[in-house]
Amino acid sequence: MQPKEPGIESAIEALALIVLGVLVLVAALLVAKVLIIILAPLIAGGVAALGVAALVGWARVTYEERESRHRLVIEVYRPLEFLLAWLLLAVIAAVILR
């Protein structure tokens, strides 16, 4: 499968995922508990990495609605790069939380 051609819709969706990752990080800063400090960088880094991957064409995120069922479909075309981006962004989020 080939990545979706970059367009305004995919860029907006990717930026929305990056913003969502930042919001998770901000929420963790507001509710600073031990479990949140461990999980928040992983969640924030993963969501932001998904946005970055969608922005550069490593992944595609689509929303499907069929017969009153809603699905978020995530297709990752470059898994190694995606995982490295996730790790890097999770480390950055962990440093920010400290």
What value does the mean pLDDT take over residues 36-54? 79
What does the mean pLDDT of the chain come to? 77
Phi, psi of 71 (to 5 degrees): -135, 140
69 close to 79: Cβ distance less than 8 angstroms: no
Q: Which range, 5-19, 34-48, 75-89, is most confident?
A: 75-89
Decide: helix, strand or coil at residue 33: coil
Please report where in the chains the tokens 């981006």 appear, as a residue: 85
pTM score: 0.60
d(CA 98, CA 88): 16
